[in-house]
Amino acid sequence: MEYTLRLGDNALILGQRLAEWCGHGPILEQDIALSNIALDHLGQARMLMNYAAKQKEDGSTEDDIAFKRDIFDYHNLLLVERENGDWGKTVMRQFLFDTYNYFFYTQLLKSKDAKLRDIAHKAIKEITYHAQWSAEWVIRLGDGTEESHQRVQDSLNDLWEYTGEMFTMDAVDEKMVAEGIGVDLNPIKDLWYEKVAEILDMATLQQPEDGWMQSGGKQGEHSEYLGYVLAEMQHLPRMYPEASW
């Protein structure tokens, strides 16, 4: 269940972050594109949280999991809770995560857990599109104007220290890999570095040196940002628990 929750938390928090753009996109077409992607992530989060809720076997629902847990119970990667920043930063965060997510879910298709396999089957089509979309944008911003180049390069430099956590295996990962359910992150790391290098090269961007990497999200140690994300997301169901429409 912990494993399913981690995947669900990544999808939910990133979906919520992207949803913040709704109505604020730089142009109508991109506003719709990001809202679509946000909804894809929320859809994936629902499938995963629904599954996690069933695994809990205590009558919990997907809503309980999304709205009634606090910061330390959220086990998403730190990368997905980073602030949206400008358009370039949102696109860069999306690209770094989508590329990882694409290789991850491609492997999850082979999971021994039938339900996770089904979810991966549905999600991979969406994720493939996300990865194409964000890579196209990184190329255009990086190889765009002087200003767009500088801005996405700065975003890349800022976000790089949050990429290491994606490939760090902890006890939960090891156990799931051993059982044939989870994904081995070591080969994913190689694939990710190769793809990211290729796109950054096309985008004329400089790949930052691997230095010290942030970690802790998977274990519930978060940056201050997650508190604000959850406050906005959970405010209504916590204030008015019986609210419905």
Partner 1 sequence: MTQKDNWKIWEVFIRSKNGLSHKHAGSLHAPDAEMAIKNARDVYTRRNEGISIWVVESEAITASSPDDNDPLFAPADDKVYRHPTFYEIPDEVGHM
Least distance from C-beta 124 to partner 1, angstroms?
A: 17
| Binder among 19, 33, 48, 96 for partner 1 (CB under 8 A) | 33
If phi over 0 gives left and psi between -120 and 50 gives alpha, with beta otherwise, what is residue 206? beta
Minimum CB separation from partner 1 for residue 203, in Å? 14
* Binding of partner 1 by 32 (CB under 8 A): yes
Find the shortest distance in angstroms from Cβ 107 to partner 1.
Answer: 26
Task: Tell me if 152 sits within 8 A of 116, measured CB to CB.
Answer: no
Neighbours of 153 (CB within 10 A): 20
CB of 87 to partner 1, least distance (A): 12
| 101 token code pair | 């997510």
Which value, to the nearest 10 degrees, does the dihedral of the CA atoms of residues 185, 36, 143, 212 take?
-30
Of 76 and 90, the one with the shorter C-beta distance to partner 1 is: 90
Under the binding rule (CB under 8 A), the answer on residue 224 touching partner 1 is: no
CB of 145 to partner 1, least distance (A): 9
The residue range among 75-83, 87-95, 133-141, 185-193 that interacts with partner 1, by the rule CB under 8 A, is: 133-141
Buried b (16+ CB within 10 A) or exposed e, 65-88: bbbebebeebbbbbbbbbeebebb
- CA-CA distance, 167 to 18, in Å (whole number)? 23
Query: What DSSP line would sit under 115-148, residue for residue?
Result: HHHHHHHHHHHHHHHHHHHHHHHHHHHHTS-HHH
Give the residue with the Cβ less far from partner 1, 144 or 208: 144
36/84 with CB nearer partner 1: 36
> Does residue 28 belong to the site contacting partner 1 (CB under 8 A)?
yes
8/14 Cα distance (integer angstroms): 10
- Residue 209 token pair: 């040196």
Quick check: 122 binds partner 1 (CB under 8 A)? no
Number of residues in contact with partner 1, rule: CB under 8 A? 13
**132 sits near partner 1 (criterion: CB under 8 A):** yes
Q: Is 146 in the site for partner 1 (CB under 8 A)?
A: no
Q: CA-to-CA distance for 223 and 158, rounded, in angstroms?
A: 14
Contact window for partner 1 (CB under 8 A) among 129-137, 176-184, 202-210, 235-243: 129-137
- Among 54, 115, 140, 195, indicate the residue that binds partner 1 (CB under 8 A): 140
Residues binding partner 1 (CB under 8 A): 26-30, 32-33, 36, 129, 132-133, 136, 140
